[in-house]
């Protein structure tokens, strides 16, 4: 199970925009074309350590193509370094047990393992220790503040809505978003590549027509896309509610009603609830990765 979100339909859209076949993408990440087909069809998911290579092969930032919630934990650092548990364990000269125990929050790493793992993961020892704290359900205050902050740019808002706004259903692909925007505009105003560029931050400008089309495609009020600099209180509360409902659906909060359960709560309260949800996530039982 990957700590990052994987959307096979988004991978398909970006692959096609890059004019790559499934076999060509597979060759770049050391798998066969049928494996890529299963990923894109939702029949299977790549292991977390494959995601950096997939993003690189598609020329996309890892955080854009495969977003994740909250600050990194040990599993995320390892996967982002492209390492399996066995490979990381070999680096510190031990079996997989100490690393698996640390990633699942059962027993902390021996101090002697921290420097070589930090080097292998391409981070500082302080970052690795902070990630280990996250694996044990301890989250730094700065990360909580970052998590509570609302997205600002058009691309950040699109990414946020796609990551959190589709409870129990597939999020639209770049192709689908572009089609709805063009249909709403009554003519071709964007391409799939334009949507990808917005989401990656390579483009930050969009016409009023495109903004209105994005609102239509993502089923939100157009006011959410009107201002890149500030997010008004109503929009902030809406975005927090979207994330909150996604948390409910993923089983991170139990016993609450679905849509509308956040009515009357302030943006600050919703942010606080989401902070608690993020902390609870690390305490839920996890399924060990298969090698």
Query: Does residue 188 carry a pLDDT above 90?
Result: yes
Q: Is residue 258 part of a domain?
A: yes
State the average pLDDT for the chain: 79
Q: How large is the average pLDDT for residues 68-89?
A: 92
Q: Is residue 287 part of a domain?
A: no
In the numeric block, which tokens belong to residue 152? Answer: 């600002």
> Same domain for 202 and 243?
yes
In the numeric block, which tokens belong to residue 133? Answer: 């704290």
> Same domain for 159 and 61?
no
> Same domain for 225 and 257?
yes
Q: Is residue 113 part of a domain?
A: yes
Give residue 283's pLDDT band: very low, low, confident or very high (50, 70, 90): very low
Q: Is residue 288 part of a domain?
A: no
In the numeric block, which tokens belong to residue 37? Answer: 């087909």
Q: What is the pLDDT of residue 288?
A: 42
Give residue 170's pLDDT band: very low, low, confident or very high (50, 70, 90): confident
pTM: 0.54
Rounded Cα distance between 68 and 15, Å, is 21
Rounded Cα distance between 220 and 166, Å, is 12
> Same domain for 276 and 179?
yes
> Same domain for 51 and 156?
no
Secondary structure (3-state) at 287:
coil
- Per the structure, the complete domain to which residue 187 belongs is given by 147-281
> Same domain for 203 and 268?
yes
Q: Are 130 and 71 in contact (CB under 8 A)?
A: yes
Torsion of CA 67, 99, 39, 19, to 10 degrees: 60
Q: How large is the average pLDDT for residues 182-187?
A: 95
Residue-level length of the chain? 291
Q: Is residue 1 part of a domain?
A: no
Number of domains the chain is built from? 3
Which of 137, 156, 186 marks a domain boundary? Answer: 137
Rounded Cα distance between 65 and 138, Å, is 27
> Same domain for 252 and 200?
yes
> Same domain for 55 and 111?
no
Q: Give 246-281 pLDDT, tens digit per residue.
A: 555 444 333 333 333 333 444 554 555 555 545 444
Which of 137, 164, 187 marks a domain boundary? Answer: 137
> Same domain for 23 and 111?
no
Which of 86, 117, 137 marks a domain boundary? Answer: 137
Q: Write the CATH number for 123.
A: 1.10.260.40
Q: Give 109-139 pLDDT, tens digit per residue.
A: 999 999 999 999 999 999 999 999 988 877 6
> Same domain for 179 and 269?
yes
Q: Is residue 57 part of a domain?
A: yes
> Same domain for 115 and 204?
no
CB count in 10 Å sphere of residue 275: 18
Q: Is residue 186 part of a domain?
A: yes
- For residue 94, CA distances in Å to 29, 58, 87, 117 come to 27, 34, 10, 12
Q: Is residue 250 part of a domain?
A: yes
């Amino acid at each position: 199970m990957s700590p990052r979100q994987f959307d096979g339909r988004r991978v398909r859209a970006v692959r096609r925009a890059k004019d790559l076949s499934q076999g060509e993408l597979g060759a770049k990440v050391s798998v066969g074309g049928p494996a890529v087909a299963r990923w894109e069809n939702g029949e299977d998911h790549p292991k977390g350590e494959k995601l950096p290579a997939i993003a690189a092969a598609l020329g996309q930032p890892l955080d854009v193509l495969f977003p994740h919630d909250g600050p990194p934990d040990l599993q995320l650092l390892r996967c982002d370094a492209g390492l399996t548990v066995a490979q990381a364990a070999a680096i510190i000269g031990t079996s997989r047990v100490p690393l698996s125990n640390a990633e699942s929050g059962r027993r902390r790493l021996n101090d002697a393992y921290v420097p070589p793992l930090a080097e292998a993961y391409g981070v500082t020892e302080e970052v690795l220790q902070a990630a280990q704290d996250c694996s044990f359900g301890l989250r730094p205050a700065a990360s909580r503040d970052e998590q509570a902050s609302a997205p600002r740019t058009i691309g950040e808002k699109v990414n946020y809505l796609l990551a959190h706004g589709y409870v129990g259903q597939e999020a639209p692909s770049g192709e689908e978003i572009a089609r709805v925007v063009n249909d709403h505009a009554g003519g071709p105003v964007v391409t799939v590549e334009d949507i990808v560029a917005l989401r990656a931050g390579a483009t930050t400008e969009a016409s009023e027509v495109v903004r209105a089309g994005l609102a239509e495609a993502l089923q939100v009020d157009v006011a959410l896309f009107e201002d890149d600099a500030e997010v008004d209180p109503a929009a902030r509360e809406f975005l927090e509610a979207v994330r909150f409902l996604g948390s409910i659906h993923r089983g991170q909060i139990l016993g609450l009603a679905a849509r509308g359960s956040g009515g009357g709560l302030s943006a600050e309260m919703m942010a606080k609830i989401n902070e608690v949800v993020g902390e609870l996530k690390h305490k839920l039982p996890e399924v060990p990765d298969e090698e």
